[in-house]
Amino acid sequence: MTKNEVLTQLSNKEISKKEAYKLLYGETKQRKPRRAHFLKVKIRVPDEGPANFFLGLILFFPIPMFLVRMVLRRFVKDEVTEQFQMSKAELIRLVSIRGVKIKVNTHTNEKIYVRTF
């Protein structure tokens, strides 16, 4: 239906305002999340200066996502942990979305930051 036909029907009160609006503009599309291309990881171990420096050197550059997916598919079991029940497919899908930030604090005060972009 064209714009003029919808407006004519609206002026003749054959359709309501809401129906006319839906016919003119339609439904808004749901945006799909953007895919991530890289993964950036930072690891901080308390009271371990040389270890932090070495980890900083190794993880200075972002890791490409195809390597991350390959490692996750090969080495991760079906269920990630008992406390946080998540399947391998859900973990891969979570890490593949751009803008995900994960902050992990352990009982022994190590800090792990993961970010996708």
Q: How confident is the model at residue 73 (pLDDT cuts 50, 70, 90)?
A: confident
Q: Would you mind telling me the total number of residues written for the chain in this entry?
A: 117
Tell me: do 24 and 48 sit in the same domain: no
66 lies in a domain? Answer: yes
Q: Is the pLDDT of residue 66 over 90?
A: yes
Within this chain, do residues 7 and 60 fall inside the same structural domain, yes or no?
Answer: no
Would the pTM count as exceeding 0.75? no
Question: Which stretch of DSSP H or E encloses residue 109?
Answer: none
pLDDT value at position 81?
A: 67
Q: Which of 18, 20, 56, 22 is nearest to 40 (CA)?
A: 56
The token pair that represents 73 in the structure block: 């598919």
Rounded to the nearest 5°, which phi and psi values hold at 86?
-145, 135
**Domain count for the chain:** 2
Identify whether residues 15 and 59 lie together within a single domain: no
15 & 54 share domain: no
Residue 16: domain span: 1-28
d(CA 117, CA 3): 41
Q: Same structural domain for residues 96 and 51?
A: yes
Residue 49 has pLDDT above 90, yes or no: no
Residue at 80 is within a domain: yes
Decide: 72 and 92 in contact? Cβ < 8 Å.
yes
pLDDT-above-90 percentage for the chain: 54
